[in-house]
């Protein structure tokens, strides 16, 4: 405690000038960016502790540290821990050490992190991007009786779904009362039918539906929607009579509430050249309130095609205009071109200003993102920026979109642009369809717009994307086995597969694979079949071309592909391709040919 005598003595010293009063030092607010140095909290027997060094300051990494960080992340990707540790020891600025540790602790195959390591990381880095990943893994590895790990700091995350542009169908909700056990029976039946349809066991599915006790607890619409799925199964195994029988039974009873039945009946009638009925059934799809905008556009476009076959030319433009309302869909883009119009996009962004960057850097997450960009970790930088939800702050919203454009963070841009619009209520189209600076080592041999379309569909421009089920990696989601086949070696086996997360490596290998697929096509300019081969494999494409050899109509060929995933894939890739062609100011021969009926 300070005595009264001491206070009197200090005041006397001030009055004599022996000491002078100094303004108080500002309070220092610590944050993880400034304290992420040597840690005794992370208890690990395998990760060396770094020597204590001065805390890094400022907004920039030195050129040496920037290069070291890039080398460290690359070394850890290939599980070269010795090199990573040696280079980490050379770092002067340790502010990104938390991310080095995160990458190692979360390595998918070559590092098994302990609970002590994971919980120690959470104690020191609870607000870093990736803290939720560490927390989930820590919970799985927590020994019984051990104290739970520290929870990550919560942030409102920017999350924009690709479905925002083309909303899914409203969910049909039955009003029929039933017990929980009855509802469980229905869910079990739905799962069984789905699994059997996936295996082309169509008749088994049909028998299940007719004989199951669950049907007693379903309303008519629920039953008809399931029956429509079975009708589609018959269509794809080339049993049109059965497909038409079941689809019409559902359509006649449930109408617009079972839109798939109208789609199946329409395609079946079209194949049989019954254009009058096809026209009627496609109308039901286009006007249904229980289908997605993507399917509405398809129904309207096919209704216009049927009207053209019937010579009802006034109805052709009527239905094309309806399809054109959904201008970011496969059939919507074609409808606009068929009408002789151009799709309107707004490729401009607000002008970047220094105050935009200053605002981003006023946040700890923004400063971390800035350092990560310098360390070559744009994927992690994007994850940090996703924590800066504008929450109605127009200035922050504008700062985020311009900052991410300046520093080329396309994966962030896509997420952001699906959630936020410009002040005039238009989309940030240049962010929805970003152009990346990456290009293959041998330059573009496949159209730049096409590869951008594939990347947007495959990974949403996240170079670190990895499919845990298939092991596909990187921007173009390439299988390591495919990559090895392309280069004629085993360089992508084992830990070498992680080099596919390097953007240049990935699109270089991806382009070489596309060239190989393209050389197997009868028409090397047929990008739709190239997309089919990329998604389903060249073997499946050859099989389908043989099975559907009587179909000359390219749109009908797509719609008769037996894999729903591939039908959806090719239509989305082609729509993105056309939009990228527009952004690049290039004419699309494919779009013009399809829109003109060729």
pLDDT at position 403 over 60: yes
pLDDT in tens, 447-488: 999 999 999 999 999 998 999 888 999 999 999 999 999 999
Question: Is the domain of 458 the same as that of 563?
Answer: yes
Residue position matching structure tokens 């004419």: 587
Tens of pLDDT, residues 48-79: 777 777 667 789 999 999 999 999 999 998 89
Res 3: pLDDT: 46
Supply the CATH number for residue 544's domain. Answer: 1.10.530.10
Query: Of the residues 338, 370, 389, which one is the last residue of a structural domain?
Result: 338
Nearest one of 134, 105, 108 to 472, comparing CA atoms? 108
Q: What pLDDT is stored for residue 320 in this prediction? A: 98
Distance, CA of 329 to CA of 165 (rounded, Å): 9
Q: How many helices (H) and strands (E) does the chain have?
A: 30, 0
pLDDT, tens digit (0-9, with 9 covering 90-100), for 214-244: 999 999 999 999 999 999 999 999 999 999 9
**pLDDT for the residue 166:** 67
- Is 344 within the bounds of a domain? no
Indicate whether 206 and 332 sit together in one domain.
yes
Q: How far apart are CA 347 and CA 431, in angstroms?
A: 8
Do 257 and 380 reside in the same domain of the chain? no
**Per-residue pLDDT tens digits for 273-300:** 999 999 999 999 999 999 999 999 999 9
> In this predicted structure, what is the pLDDT of residue 343?
86
**pLDDT score of 54:** 67
Is the domain of 383 the same as that of 334?
Answer: no
154 within some domain? no
Question: At residue 31, does pLDDT exceed 50?
Answer: no
- Per-chain mean pLDDT for the chain: 90
Mean local confidence (pLDDT), 484-505: 92
Predicted local confidence at residue 420, as pLDDT: 86
Residue 14, phi-psi category: left (phi > 0), alpha (psi -120 to 50), beta (remainder): alpha
Question: DSSP H helical segments within 362-479, as ranges?
Answer: 364-374, 378-385, 394-406, 410-417, 429-432, 448-458
Q: Do 415 and 304 share a domain, yes or no?
A: no
Number of folded domains that form the chain: 4
Report the alpha-carbon distance of residue 191 to residue 210 in Å, rounded. 15
The pLDDT of 583-595, averaged and rounded, is 94
Same domain, residue pair 204 and 283? yes
Residue 562 confidence (pLDDT) above 50: yes
Residue 560 is part of which domain span?
Answer: 448-595
111 contacts 105 by C-beta, under 8 angstroms = yes
User: Is the domain of 457 the same as that of 578?
Assistant: yes
| Residue that terminates a domain, selected from 298, 313, 338 | 338
Query: CA 130 to CA 103: how far, in whole Å?
Result: 9
481 domain-assigned: yes
Residue at 128 is within a domain: yes
Look up residue 513 and give its DSSP letter: H
Least confident residue range of 183-197, 262-276, 277-291, 344-358: 344-358
Identify whether residues 67 and 118 lie together within a single domain.
Answer: yes
Is residue 545 classed exposed, middle or buried when 0-12, 13-18 and 19+ CB atoms within 10 A define those classes?
middle
In the chain, % of residues over pLDDT 90: 80
CA-based angle 547:551:553, to the nearest 5? 145
Burial (0-12, 13-18, 19+ Cβ within 10 Å), 7: exposed
Model confidence band, residue 15 (pLDDT cutoffs 50, 70, 90)? very low
| Percent of residues in the chain assigned helix, strand, coil, to nearest 5 | 60, 0, 40
Write down which residue in 407, 423, 439 finishes a domain.
423
**539, part of any domain:** yes
Residue 2, in any domain of the structure: no
Query: Does residue 19 or residue 316 have the better pLDDT?
Result: 316
The answer to whether residues 523 and 387 belong to one domain is no
Render pLDDT for 141-177 as a digit per residue (tens, 0 to 9): 999 999 999 999 988 887 766 555 666 778 899 999 9
Verify that 210 and 332 share a domain, yes or no.
yes
CB count within 10 Å of CB 234 equals 23
The angle at the Cα of 147, spanning 34 to 81, to the nearest 5 degrees, equals 50
What is the CATH number for 194? 1.25.40.10
For residues 232 and 282, state if they share a domain: yes
Question: Band of the pLDDT at 360, cuts 50, 70, 90?
Answer: very high
CA dist., res. 324 & res. 337, Å (int): 9
Q: Is residue 157 part of a domain?
A: no
Same domain, yes or no: 124 and 240: no
pLDDT given at position 17: 39
Which of the four pLDDT bands, split at 50, 70 and 90, describes residue 560?
very high
- Cα–Cα distance for residue pair 454/121, rounded to 1 Å: 36
Residue 322 lies in a domain: yes
């Amino acid at each position: 405690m300070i005595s009264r005598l001491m206070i009197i003595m200090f005041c006397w010293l001030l009055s004599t000038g022996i000491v002078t009063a100094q303004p108080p030092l500002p309070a220092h607010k610590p944050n993880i960016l400034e304290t992420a140095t040597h840690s005794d909290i992370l208890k690990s027997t395998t990760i060396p502790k770094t020597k204590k060094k001065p805390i890094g300051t400022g907004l920039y990494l030195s050129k040496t540290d920037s290069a070291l960080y890039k080398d460290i992340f690359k070394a850890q990707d290939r599980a070269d821990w010795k090199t990573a540790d040696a280079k980490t020891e050379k770092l002067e600025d340790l502010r990104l050490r938390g991310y080095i540790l995160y990458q190692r602790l979360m390595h998918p195959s070559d590092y098994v992190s302990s609970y002590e390591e994971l919980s120690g990381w959470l104690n020191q880095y609870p607000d870093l991007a990736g803290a939720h990943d560490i927390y989930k893994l820590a919970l799985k590895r927590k020994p019984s009786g051990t104290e739970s790990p520290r929870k990550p700091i919560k942030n409102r995350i920017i999350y924009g779904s690709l479905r925002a542009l083309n909303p899914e169908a409203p969910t049909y909700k039955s009003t029929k009362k039933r017990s929980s056990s009855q509802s469980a029976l229905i869910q079990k039946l739905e799962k069984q039918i789905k699994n059997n349809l996936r295996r082309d066991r169509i008749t088994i599915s049909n028998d299940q539906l007719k004989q199951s006790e669950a049907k007693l607890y379903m309303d008519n619409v629920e039953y008809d929607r399931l029956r429509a799925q079975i009708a589609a199964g018959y269509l794809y195994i080339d049993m049109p009579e059965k497909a038409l029988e079941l689809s019409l039974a559902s359509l006649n009873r449930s109408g617009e509430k079972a839109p798939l039945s109208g789609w199946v009946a329409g395609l079946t009638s079209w194949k049989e050249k019954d254009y009058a009925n096809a026209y009627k059934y496609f109308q039901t799809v286009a006007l249904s309130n229980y289908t997605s905008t993507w399917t509405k556009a398809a129904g309207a476009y096919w209704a216009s095609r049927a009207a053209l076959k019937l010579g009802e030319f006034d109805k052709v433009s009527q239905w094309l205009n309806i399809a054109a309302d959904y201008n970011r869909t496969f059939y919507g883009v074609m409808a606009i071109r068929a009408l002789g119009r151009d799709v309107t996009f707004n490729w401009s962004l607000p002008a970047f200003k220094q105050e935009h960057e200053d605002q981003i850097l006023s946040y700890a997450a923004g400063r971390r993102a800035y350092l990560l960009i310098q360390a070559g970790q744009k994927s992690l930088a994007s994850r940090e920026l996703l924590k800066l939800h504008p929450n109605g702050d127009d200035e922050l919203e504008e700062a985020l979109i311009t900052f991410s454009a300046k520093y080329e963070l396309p994966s962030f841009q896509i997420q952001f642009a699906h959630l936020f619009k410009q002040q005039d209520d238009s989309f940030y189209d240049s962010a929805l369809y970003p152009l990346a600076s990456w290009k293959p080592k041998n330059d573009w041999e496949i159209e730049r717009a096409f590869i951008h379309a594939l990347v947007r569909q495959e990974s949403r421009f996240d170079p670190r994307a990895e499919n845990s089920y298939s092991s596909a990696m990187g921007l173009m989601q390439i299988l390591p086995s495919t990559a090895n086949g392309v280069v004629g070696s085993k360089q992508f086996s084992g830990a070498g597969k992680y080099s596919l997360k390097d953007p240049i490596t990935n699109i270089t290998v991806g382009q070489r694979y596309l060239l190989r697929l393209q050389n197997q096509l009868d028409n090397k300019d047929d990008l739709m079949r190239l997309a089919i081969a990329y998604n389903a494999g060249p073997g499946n494409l050859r099989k389908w071309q043989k099975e559907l050899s009587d179909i000359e109509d390219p749109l009908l060929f797509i719609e008769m592909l037996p894999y729903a995933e591939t039908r959806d894939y090719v239509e989305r890739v082609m729509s993105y391709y056309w939009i990228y062609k527009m952004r690049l100011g290039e004419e699309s021969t494919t779009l013009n040919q399809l829109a003109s009926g060729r």
